[in-house]
């Protein structure tokens, strides 16, 4: 079947389509109603269905002949550790830790916060919660105490699961002092904190509240899975909110399991038994979906990687992992390859490894610039597929659905709408825009299974945040346009559109041009306030290693390049070298904050920021370079 036929079926009869997809997983009780509304007038999938996500990820495969297949590969260049777990071994570890949680009083519906790095125990913990029907909320390891406290007060966990610390290239990050500070600040008091002690950092345990992970394992018996309703929550994952109060994205068990299975087969084009690697972190949605749940539900081997694309030990790490474990499909963020390209522009280190096992490279997390896409294609000689989704959706909304039909790749586009997503480009009056006209990217409501049904204990905020602005649609917050072939181009958050002397221009297009310069490793173009034109674009760039041109030469070349590509209307006249750009820990450049600094506007740094000190560096740079209000 072609993509178009499959996609048309998913929109013309979504109930029939998603009933068919639901039959691909093993339910304890098949749903009575495929699509319905709840008491808050919000759509829900698979009412009456009963299942268990941990059973689908582990027990089911053991019952069906995969007991001895490798389920999880742990590779940690920061600690020089490698370990493999078969499906049987992963079940043994998970069931025993579920017994630990059961001894601590954890039951169906209880919340558990997990604050851990990329180690096997974090996977045991997530699956153990799912096994008991408990709701886990993973908080990215290394988040500040205040952010952890906010999440503790919102989720009200009965137990916190933690590691004593994490390791980042050359520094150790102790977690326990952060947890202690968060618990001092939080109003809610969890009953227990269970700590996995790592060899290189030991945590002090508070008697009566804190427990040693391994000590509790010695007292536990393996716990079996419990049946949960399809609409019962599997996890809460907090994402930044505009009010400063994070939004608790809820993922239900039924729709999530169906979506995970569906996406592995139809989007990523992988087969059970093959090796899938998502180089992300379980603290983010990519880690939830494509390190833990989707690969295991589908019967693949998943790679759990504790390291960085560079400096662990060098820029060849990704090539090594692909080669060593025969990775078939690889998924990471474009920023990872930009870092590799900066360190090793010609890919000299790649020559040491055979990556011919790889079938596809998928990129997401932020927009993939064409220069990075081309470099990856040159290095790997496989289709490099940009795709687009959000924490809220849980799986891709725009992609090249390789499992159905590998479509031509159009650099700059994230592909076409994934089956089930009726994506439209809207104007401010809720009207669909013509082809190649930019507008708001919105998805016809209801969303497919697997997407958030609501926010944790806040349905009204869900409605006001996502459904109110464009009635009948879920608003993604992004702008973009659709071409005559149905390919969608994401131009960035709606506020990445700037107004230069009455002309609405996309800074993303300018970034594409700047990024294509052979000397540029990474860049951001932001609009800053200007008395004459309202806003003007300013480029900030990081040079690749070994470039011998002056900053004046680079600036002159970039200005000319933008002028030739976009035209004088872009008014692009400043390009400034920076040592670093402010980013979230998942690699997204914080352009909105860069604008706020330039315009001297108040802002609250997000909890996800990688390094606060870069903001001070940027402020000094803008002042010295006389950029925006701050340079006056």
* Cα 429 to Cα 69: distance, rounded to the nearest angstrom: 54
pLDDT at 369: 83
> What's the Rg (C-alpha) of the chain?
24
Mean pLDDT over the full length of the chain: 93
Among 153-162, 284-293, 327-336, 583-592, where is mean pLDDT lowest?
583-592
Paired tokens of 381 = 């000689």
Contact predicate 521/342, CB 8 Å: yes
Using an 8 Å Cβ cutoff, are 92 and 222 in contact?
yes
Query: Are 214 and 9 a contacting pair, CB within 8 Å?
Result: no
- pTM score of the predicted model: 0.85
Torsion of CA 98, 103, 108, 113, to 10 degrees: -70
The domain locations on the chain are 85-226, 501-631
Q: Taking 80 as the threshold, does the pLDDT of residue 9 lie above it?
A: yes
Residues 550-600: pLDDT tens digits? 999 999 999 999 888 776 777 899 999 999 999 988 788 998 899 999 999
Give the pLDDT of residue 632: 74
* DSSP single-letter state for residue 29: B
Architecture per CATH, 501-631:
2-Layer Sandwich (3.30)
Residue 1 to residues 8, 24, 400: CA-CA distances in angstroms? 11, 17, 15
Interhelix angle 253-266/14-22, nearest 10 degrees: 90
Which distant-in-sequence residues (6+ apart) come within 8 Å of 139 by Cβ?
Answer: 113, 114, 115, 147, 148, 151, 238, 283
Least confident of 140-144, 249-253, 270-274: 140-144
Three state DSSP letters for 228-293:
EECCCEEEEEEECCCCCCCEEEEEEHHHHHHHHHHHHHHCCCCCCCCEEEECCCCCCHHHHHHHHH
- pLDDT (0 to 100) of residue 539: 96
Q: What angle do CA 191, 193, 194 make, to 5 degrees?
A: 130
Reading the block at residue 363, the tokens are 């990129």
Q: Which of 375, 374, 380 is nearest to 351 (CA)?
A: 380
CA distance 21 to 442: 24
The answer to whether residue 493 scores a pLDDT higher than 80 is no
Does this chain's domain 85-226 share its CATH topology with 501-631? no
- Of 61-65, 347-351, 401-405, 490-494, least confident by mean pLDDT is 490-494
Report d(CA 300, CA 22) in Å as an integer: 19
CATH fold of 85-226, please?
Answer: Rossmann fold (3.40.50)
Where residue 158 falls among pLDDT bands split at 50, 70, 90? very high
pLDDT tens digits along 34-91: 999 999 999 999 999 999 999 999 999 999 999 999 999 999 999 999 999 999 999 9
């Amino acid at each position: 079947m072609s993509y178009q036929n499959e996609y048309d079926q998913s929109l013309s009869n979504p109930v029939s389509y998603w009933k068919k997809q639901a039959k691909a997983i093993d339910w304890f009780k098949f749903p009575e109603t495929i699509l319905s509304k709840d008491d808050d007038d919000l759509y829900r999938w698979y009412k009456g269905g009963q299942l268990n996500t941990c059973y689908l990820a582990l027990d089911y495969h053991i019952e069906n002949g995969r007991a001895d297949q490798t389920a999880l590969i742990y590779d940690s260049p920061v600690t020089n550790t490698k370990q493999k777990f078969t499906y049987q071994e992963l079940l043994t570890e998970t069931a025993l830790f579920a017994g630990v949680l059961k001894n601590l009083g954890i039951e169906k519906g209880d919340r558990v916060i997990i604050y851990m790095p990329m180690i096997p125990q974090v996977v045991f913990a997530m699956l153990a919660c799912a096994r008991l029907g408990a709701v886990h909320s993973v908080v990215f390891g290394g988040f500040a105490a205040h952010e952890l406290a906010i999440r503790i007060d919102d989720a009200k966990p009965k137990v916190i699961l933690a590691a004593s610390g994490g390791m980042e290239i050359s520094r150790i990050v102790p977690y326990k002092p952060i947890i202690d500070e968060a618990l001092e600040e939080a109003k809610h008091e969890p009953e227990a904190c269970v700590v996995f002690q790592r060899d290189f950092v030991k945590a002090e345990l508070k008697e009566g509240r804190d427990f040693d992970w391994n000590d509790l394992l010695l007292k536990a018996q393996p716990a079996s899975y419990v049946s949960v309703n399809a609409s019962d929550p599997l996890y809460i994952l907090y994402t930044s909110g505009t009010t400063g109060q994070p939004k608790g994205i809820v993922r239900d068990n039924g729709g999530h399991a169906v979506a995970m299975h569906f996406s592995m087969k139809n989007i990523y084009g992988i087969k059970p038994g093959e090796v899938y690697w998502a180089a992300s972190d379980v603290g983010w949605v990519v880690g939830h979906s494509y390190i833990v749940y989707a690969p295991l539900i589908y019967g693949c081997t998943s790679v759990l990687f504790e390291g960085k694309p560079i400096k662990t030990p060098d820029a060849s790490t990704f090539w090594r992992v692909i080669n060593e474990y025969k990775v078939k499909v690889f998924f990471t963020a474009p920023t990872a390859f930009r870092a590799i390209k900066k360190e090793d522009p010609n890919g000299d280190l790649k020559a040491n490894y055979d990556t011919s096992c790889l079938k596809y490279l998928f990129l997401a997390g932020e927009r993939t610039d064409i220069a990075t896409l081309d470099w990856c294609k040159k290095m790997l000689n496989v289709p490099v597929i940009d795709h687009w989704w959000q924490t809220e959706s849980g799986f891709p909304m725009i992609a090249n659905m390789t499992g159905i039909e590998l479509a031509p790749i159009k650099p700059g586009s994230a592909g076409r709408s994934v089956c089930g997503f009726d994506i439209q480009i809207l104007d401010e009056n809720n009207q669909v825009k013509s082809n190649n006209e930019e507008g708001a990217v919105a998805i016809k409501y209801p969303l497919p299974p697997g997407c958030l049904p609501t926010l944790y204990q806040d349905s009204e905020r869900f409605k006001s945040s996502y459904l109110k602005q464009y009635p009948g649609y879920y608003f993604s917050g992004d702008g973009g346009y659709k071409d005559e072939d149905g390919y969608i181009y994401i131009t960035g958050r709606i506020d990445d559109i700037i107004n230069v002397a009455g002309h609405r221009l996309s800074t993303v297009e300018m970034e594409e041009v700047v990024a294509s310069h052979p000397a540029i490793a990474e860049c951001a173009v932001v609009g800053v306030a200007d008395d004459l034109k309202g806003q003007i674009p300013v480029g900030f760039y990081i040079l690749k290693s070994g470039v011998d041109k002056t900053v004046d030469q680079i600036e002159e070349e970039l200005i000319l390049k933008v002028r030739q590509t976009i035209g004088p209307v872009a008014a692009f006249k400043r390009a400034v070298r920076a040592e670093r750009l402010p980013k979230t820990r998942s690699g997204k450049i914080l352009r909105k904050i860069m604008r706020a600094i330039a315009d001297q506007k108040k802002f609250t740094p997000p909890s996800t920021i990688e390094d606060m000190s870069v903001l001070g560096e940027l402020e000094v740079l803008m002042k010295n370079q006389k950029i925006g209000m701050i340079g006056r």
